[in-house]
Amino acid sequence: MTSLALLAGIQTVSEVMKDQDFSVYVDHLMKKEIIPALDLPKEELLQYAEQVQERFKNPFVKHELSSISLNSISKFKTRLLLVLKSYLEKEKKLPLREVASLAGYLFIYQGTRIQPIDNPEVIDFCKKAWETPATAVKTILGNADFWGEDLNQLTGLTEQVQLYVERLGKNEVRTIIQELN
């Protein structure tokens, strides 16, 4: 969510939840991709998802998306990669909302529209990868130091991330979100 919201010009979590397209996206991300990938009681997870969304809507908490985006690659690895892989294994298809978010992060690491905030090694690697745009996605997804494995091995992931990155380059973030809703 964070990467795509930043690319859409949204600054805070509460603004995400006020935005009609993004609030639906967050709800669907949680209920249609994250919850089905987890091996916990569904009712408890749904209740938790509702509580999280209520916290996100709190206008008095100014949680800046730029702060959340700090060290995005390592956060994606620790928070969403296992969910993505579990969903792919269980559903036999990619969780497209998560994939779009991943594409958003990789797009941001170009450093052309938004400056990524990460350790210098990660930024330097991504900047060098983006010197060759045609292979940047494959190069970054293939960096086992980032992900603990070569993500190009996940069926269809590289191609789908590449597709989203190309569309983000055409400023289609809002269209992507609407299609995923």
Domain ranges of the chain: 2-180
pLDDT digits (tens, 9 = 90+) for 75-92: 999 999 999 999 999 999
Cβ neighbour number for residue 152 with a 10 Å cutoff: 17
Cβ neighbour number for residue 64 with a 10 Å cutoff: 12
State the pLDDT at residue 180: 97
Task: For residue 14, give the nearest of 50, 63, 47 by alpha carbon.
Answer: 63
DSSP 154: S
CATH classification code of 2-180: 1.10.1040.10
- What is residue 64's three-state secondary structure? strand
What's the pTM value of the predicted model, to 2 decimals? 0.94
Q: How confident is the model at residue 46 (pLDDT cuts 50, 70, 90)?
A: very high
State the pLDDT at residue 119: 87
